[in-house]
Amino acid sequence: MIKSMPQGSNILDVDLTNPENSIFIPVNCVGVMGKGLALDFKKKYPNYFREYELFCRGGNLKTGFPLVLGGINQFPDVPSSSSKHWGTTGLIVLFPTKNDWRNSSQLDWIKQGLVELAVSCNSDYHGYVQWRKQVRNIHIPKLGCGLGGLEWMDVRPVLEQFAEMMPEHQIYLYE
């Protein structure tokens, strides 16, 4: 089921101490979070930015394959990858909508990433199966819109299809 959040709601205010919550953050595949929601996320969660940056440097983040990060890092000096908190805190989905920050987002990559999250059973490397089991509340911004250049009227129906694939989850859209 989809619920639109009130105008002015901030996805970064979602309570990630609740293990049933998950937020999506649109990113690129080169490890740059220089503007928009990604920059705000980088400022609030610098350890996750470092993990994302390392993942990108290794060539491991690809469009169509979101990266699920285990809950809030309780220890600011320790990278979150060394202390996954699966099942104890909310989860972050870094969702690549474009290859490079200079390029436009692609609707097909958003579709592919949503399908991977909803139905993939062979992507345990990215944590999709565990993510589906743990979360109930999925908070999603206007993926690929704004700095990505896509139109919301094209993206929203794709998110509605995603919600249909995830009937046991509540989808919150930040429009």
Alpha helices per DSSP H over 26-86: 36-44, 46-57
Which helix (DSSP H) or strand (DSSP E) does residue 68 occupy?
strand 67-69
Q: Using CA atoms in the order 162, 171, 16, 100, what is the torsion angle rounded to 10 degrees?
A: 40
Alpha-carbon span 27 to 110, nearest angstrom: 11
Distances (CA, A) of 12 to 29, 122, 136, 172: 21, 30, 17, 13
Q: Which residues are catalytic?
A: 98
